[in-house]
Structure 1
Amino acid sequence: MTSLIYPPKPRPGDRVAVVSPSAGLPGLFPHVYELGLRRLREEYGLEPVEYPTTRIMGADPRDRARDLNDAFADPTITAVLATVGGDDLITVTPHLDDEVLRANPKPYFGYSDNTNVLNHLHRLGIVSYHGGSVLVHLGRPGALHPLTADSLRAALFTADWYDLTSAPEWGDEPNDWNDPGCLAEEPAMFPGAGWQWQGPATVVEGPAWGGNLEVLHWLLAADRVAPVASLAGSVFLMETSEELPPAVEVYRMLRNLGERGLLATFPAALVGRAKAWEFGRRLTPDEKRAYAREQRAAVTRAFAEYAPDTVLVFDVDLGHTDPQLIIPYGGEVRIDAAERRISVRY
């Protein structure tokens, strides 16, 4: 297992790229997008630089890749932030210029469909950052969530170890961006019950790898995941999307990773809190709790069959729920199951 390179960090006052390699949703929801840009300036002291396809839905994959290549190549740009996810970034990464990316490593922030880019940078030996969306998190109605804000600030500007914090309250029922007045009030939040731990009371340390489970499955089908041996010892990150995959499919996807030999190589896994509500599937509180239980059971079953000694931590705020903690993708993660503590090195 080879250590990846941490890119140099931006400083307040720097220019940072804002790109939409997955979907140009800023063009559909400019009020949310402009709030995210304003917070980048006012809360973090960074100057966002927008690229040509950032507000264009359905832009050609080659054009979206060109924006990424240009952002990495520009010596005045010190970090790259994705606006949001989507579902076709797998068609963009083949057009990336790997020589440019290797020669100009920069912190890249994104999650969900951006798992494609995180995995691509990982294969090039570059640490990136799972989390941070200009629309979803910087454009959060009402105010930035304090845990998101602090984690993102630490990931952007520091290179130290950072202790993750379990959210005392969380949400997965966002405000409707179609309503121009959606930004006035914070979204609904619910009491947190802390992280849920399974497995041996041991300490695990290793580089993070994984991301959105559905996207990882696409990457496996496209043969774009590194050899099993090179991922051995990684801390597995796993979260599911707003498409709310059923528990049986979550189990099957993990079973496929197990058959490939991956699960057995992971000494620990951080499992994101399962999003259990979407505008097209407005589950009741009881239905949401049942969905979350079924998801946890599916993950537990797969690891019990393929990696029974893996430390599992459930309900970590690293995916499609609110708040969102930033995880260094390819960077160091330390999980102390005895002390119930998770630390990351940004």
Structure 2
Amino acid sequence: MDAPRYPTKPKPGDRVAIVSPSAGLPGLFPHVYELGLRRLREEFGLEPVEYPTTRVMGADPRDRARDLTAAFADPRITAVLATVGGDDLITVTPHLDDDVLRANPKPYFGYSDNTNVLNHLYRLGIVAYHGGSVLVHLGRPGAPHPLTFDSLRAALFTSGWYDLTPAPAWGDRPNPWTEPETLEYEPEMLPGEGWRWQGPERVVRGRTWGGCLEILHWLMATDRVPTVAELDGSVLLFETSQEMPSAQEVFRIVRNMGERGLLAAFPAIVVGRPKAWNFDRPLSVPERSAWGTAQREAIIHALTPYNPDAVVVFDVDLGHTDPQLIIPYGGEILVDAVDRRIAVRY
């Protein structure tokens, strides 16, 4: 497999596709969706183009794939943004027209269940972007998060190196979308404690691969991941979702990656801050801190037999917590354990 190539970036004033290849939640929460679209126009100067299944819950996977393929095929569209995640995109990617995608590479932005699409594009040789949800990030209550928007703006419009920044404050307790009035104030934030580094002091530069850990497990089960040889020398990134898998489950998934031979391929691993609060599991702040500690220990325990010399960075804001930094998927990353620095090339 050739090294993934970066697609041409959009410019302010361009048309960008808005798609829901996973869940059509814009149809259930139009107030959040419309806020996200308004900010896309006003903050980024981009014109959103909605596709037929964008607001449809439970749309046929073939119809969602048809929309995504059409977005890549349209020469007037210069980037593709997913509205949100979900849990069944693994049934959509088999219906994509790979010839169209290869012939019309475009920046694709999504995370969570969109790991299915990011991995699919990676295997087609196209760099995509982990992060940037229309509902969750563009539609953030109160105000956009400055770190998220600075990162998203750089990923959308620039092609150089970008230094990631540890968040001075972060959150994982969102406002409920079912109450439109909660869009008026920002969600709860907690003091940031910086990144946590593990392993030798060395500098690693490579291409990224990974995504939402639970989705990676599904991709391994369906044998849709790259080979160990294709990933050799890459940097693994992963994070856990709002379903909050236990430390034991995280251990087992990471261990399974080791048994498959994948872990040994990565000289560095970047781990997103775990989400430790959900509406059905409203943990206290001390409980959330303990949750994060247990997950870090589980990952190190699982990693050690397979790659004890990897550089590992924990609590990077790249997943289901707030803010969210955009990571090029298949693009270049620099993990500098000497100067404690992470940079990505957009």
TM-score, normalising length: structure 2: 0.99
- Tell me the equivalent position of 1:79: 79
Q: What does 1:160-171 correspond to in 2, within 5 Å?
A: 160-171=160-171
Distance 1:221 1:270 in 2: 22
- Tell me the equivalent position of 1:221: 221
- Tell me the equivalent position of 2:307: 307
- Tell me the equivalent position of 1:178: 178
Please say if 1:344 is aligned against 2:338.
Answer: no
Distance 1:310 1:227 in 2: 19
- Tell me the equivalent position of 1:334: 334
Distance 1:50 1:190 in 2: 35
Q: What does 1:109-258 correspond to in 2, within 5 Å?
A: 109-258=109-258
Distance 1:234 1:51 in 2: 34
Distance 2:7 2:302 in 1: 35
1:56 Cα deviation (Å)? 0.3
- Give the secondary structure class of the aligned counterpart of 2:135: coil
- Give the secondary structure class of the aligned counterpart of 2:11: coil
- Give the secondary structure class of the aligned counterpart of 2:138: coil
**Regions of 4+ moved over 2 Å:** none
1:228 Cα deviation (Å)? 1.2
The letter of the residue matching 1:299 is: I
Distance 1:242 1:303 in 2: 23
The letter of the residue matching 2:145 is: H
The letter of the residue matching 1:217 is: H
- Tell me the equivalent position of 1:38: 38
Q: What does 1:38-117 correspond to in 2, within 5 Å?
A: 38-117=38-117
After superposition, what is the alpha-carbon deviation per residue over 1:131-167, rounded to whole angstroms, capped at 9, x for unaligned?
Answer: 0000000000011100000000000000000000000
1:227 Cα deviation (Å)? 1.1
- Give the secondary structure class of the aligned counterpart of 2:304: helix
The letter of the residue matching 2:236 is: F
- Give the secondary structure class of the aligned counterpart of 2:40: helix
After superposition, what is the alpha-carbon deviation per residue over 1:180-228, rounded to whole angstroms, capped at 9, x for unaligned?
Answer: 1010000000000000000000000000000000000000101111111
Distance 1:2 1:89 in 2: 25
Deviates more, 1:190-199 or 1:2-11: 2-11
How much is the aligned-residue C-alpha RMSD, in angstroms? 0.6
The letter of the residue matching 1:111 is: Y
Unaligned 5+ residue runs, structure 2?
A: none
- Tell me the equivalent position of 2:266: 266
Distance 2:64 2:112 in 1: 17
Distance 2:341 2:12 in 1: 30
Distance 1:180 1:335 in 2: 40
Please say if 1:295 is aligned against 2:303.
Answer: no
1:99 Cα deviation (Å)? 0.2
- Give the secondary structure class of the aligned counterpart of 2:209: strand
The letter of the residue matching 2:90 is: I
After superposition, what is the alpha-carbon deviation per residue over 1:4-34, rounded to whole angstroms, capped at 9, x for unaligned?
Answer: 1100000000000000000000000000000
The sequence identity of aligned pairs, in percent, is 75
- Give the secondary structure class of the aligned counterpart of 1:162: strand
1:3 Cα deviation (Å)? 2.0
1:287 Cα deviation (Å)? 1.1
- Give the secondary structure class of the aligned counterpart of 1:85: coil
- Give the secondary structure class of the aligned counterpart of 1:305: coil
- Give the secondary structure class of the aligned counterpart of 2:173: coil
After superposition, what is the alpha-carbon deviation per residue over 1:267-288, rounded to whole angstroms, capped at 9, x for unaligned?
Answer: 0011000000000000011111
1:170 Cα deviation (Å)? 0.1
The letter of the residue matching 1:302 is: A
The letter of the residue matching 2:101 is: L
1:177 Cα deviation (Å)? 0.3
After superposition, what is the alpha-carbon deviation per residue over 1:233-259, rounded to whole angstroms, capped at 9, x for unaligned?
Answer: 110011000000000000000000000
TM-score, normalising length: structure 1: 0.99
